[in-house]
């Protein structure tokens, strides 16, 4: 066998295994991402699937209850304004039990990661954005600290 052929085979094997790992990785951990406007019309087809939904916590919707099991929370998320914004009506109820990020509050923009069960989004993770007061800094180099995640 020619010397260079051995290297081509070796490199090809390596590239193939990287490719395999990526495909396998994608199958196990990909999630649909929607804004609330995209999510509302498609709710039916998404029942039971893992989704990420971006929206704003509706003012006055937050209910909390602390028991020995932890803090249970219910709220709804609705439309949030962005660039080229077309307003939409409607909200999605969210249930979460656990610890929310510091920035979480009514009126804040959040990304909910979870599953839609019985019309309610059961949140696994809540991510918050910087409050608008601190915009515009979507991901400055300093942003890792401005990012908050809560995991259940």
Residues near another protein (CB under 8 A): 3-4, 6-7, 10-11, 14-15, 17-18, 21-22, 24-26, 28-34, 52, 54, 64, 66-71, 80, 82-83, 98-100, 102-103, 109, 111, 113, 127-151
CA dihedral 79, 129, 122, 55 (to 10 degrees): 10
Q: Which is nearer to another protein, 116 or 118 (CB)?
A: 116
Minimum CB separation of residue 62 from another protein in Å reads: 12
**H-run or E-run covering 92:** strand 92-97
Q: Which is nearer to another protein, 118 or 123 (CB)?
A: 123
Q: Which is nearer to another protein, 118 or 136 (CB)?
A: 136
Contact 111, 54 (CB under 8 A): yes
Q: Which DSSP string corresponds to 117-142?
A: ETTEEEEEEEEEPPPGGG-S-TT-TT
Contact 106, 62 (CB under 8 A): yes
Minimum CB separation of residue 23 from another protein in Å reads: 10
Minimum CB separation of residue 145 from another protein in Å reads: 5
d(CA 59, CA 47) in angstroms, rounded, equals 26
Q: Which is nearer to another protein, 92 or 112 (CB)?
A: 112
Minimum CB separation of residue 113 from another protein in Å reads: 8
């Amino acid at each position: 066998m020619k010397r260079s052929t051995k290297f081509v085979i070796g490199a090809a094997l390596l590239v193939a295994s990287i490719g395999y790992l990526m495909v396998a990785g994608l199958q196990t951990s990909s999630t649909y991402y929607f804004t609330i406007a995209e999510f509302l019309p498609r709710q039916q087809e998404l029942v039971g699937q893992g989704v990420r939904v971006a929206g704003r916590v509706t003012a006055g919707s937050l209910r909390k209850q602390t028991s020995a099991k932890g803090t249970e929370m219910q709220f709804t998320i609705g439309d949030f304004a962005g660039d080229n914004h077309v307003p939409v009506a409607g909200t999605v109820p969210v249930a979460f039990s656990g610890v929310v990020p510091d920035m979480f509050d009514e009126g804040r923009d959040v990304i909910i990661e979870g599953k839609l069960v019985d019309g309610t989004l059961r949140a696994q993770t809540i991510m918050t954005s910087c409050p608008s007061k601190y915009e515009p800094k979507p991901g400055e180099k300093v942003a890792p600290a401005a990012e908050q995640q809560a995991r259940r």
